[in-house]
Amino acid sequence: MDSFAFIIHPIDPKRDVARKYPLLGQYLSGEAIDFLSRFWPPLKLSHITGARSRDTNVEIDGWLIAVPYTSARMLSLRPKEVYRKIIAAGRLAESLGAKILGLGAYTSVVGDGGYTVARELDIAVTSGDSYTAAVSVSAVICAVQQVGIDLSEATLAVVGASGAIGGVVTQLLAPKVGRILLLGRDMKHITRIAERIRAAGHGDVVTSINIMDIRSADVVITVTSSGGDLLRPEMFQTGAVVCDVSWQVAKQRDDVLVLDGGLVRVPGEVDFGFNYGPPPDLTYGCIAETMALTFAGKFVDYSIGKNISLEQVKAIDVLADKQCFELAALRS
**76-122 residue pLDDT tens:** 899 999 999 999 999 999 999 999 999 998 899 888 999 999 999 99
| Residue 332 counted as domain residue | no
The Cα-based distances of 183 to 114, 158, 210 in angstroms read: 25, 6, 7
The predicted model scores a pTM of 0.93
User: Does some domain include residue 64?
Assistant: yes
Reported as a pLDDT band with limits 50, 70 and 90, residue 227 is very low
State which residues form the domain around 154.
Answer: 133-259
d(CA 128, CA 117): 14
Hey, which residues does 179 pair with through a beta bridge?
155
At residue 261, φ and ψ (nearest 5 deg) are -60, 140
Q: What percent of the chain has pLDDT over 70?
A: 94
Name the domain boundary from 259, 288, 309.
259
What pLDDT is stored for residue 210 in this prediction? 92
Domain C-terminal end among 215, 230, 259: 259
Q: For residue 232, is it within any domain?
A: yes
Domain end (from 259, 291, 316): 259
What mean pLDDT do residues 19-45 have? Answer: 88
The overall average pLDDT reported for the chain is: 90
pLDDT tens readout for residues 270-328: 999 999 989 999 999 999 999 999 999 999 999 999 889 999 999 999 999 999 999 98
Q: Could you tell me which of 164, 181, 49 has the C-alpha nearest to residue 115? A: 164
How many distinct structural domains can be found in the chain? 2
d(CA 315, CA 139): 18
| C-alpha to C-alpha distance for 280 and 278, rounded to whole angstroms | 6
For residue 288, what pLDDT is reported?
98
Beta strands in the chain (DSSP E): 3-8, 43-52, 59-66, 100-103, 124-126, 155-159, 179-183, 205-208, 219-222, 241-243, 257-259, 263-265, 268-271, 282-284, 326-327
Between 28 and 42, the higher pLDDT residue = 42
Kindly state whether residues 88 and 58 are assigned to the same domain: yes
pLDDT class of 217 with cuts at 50, 70, 90: very high
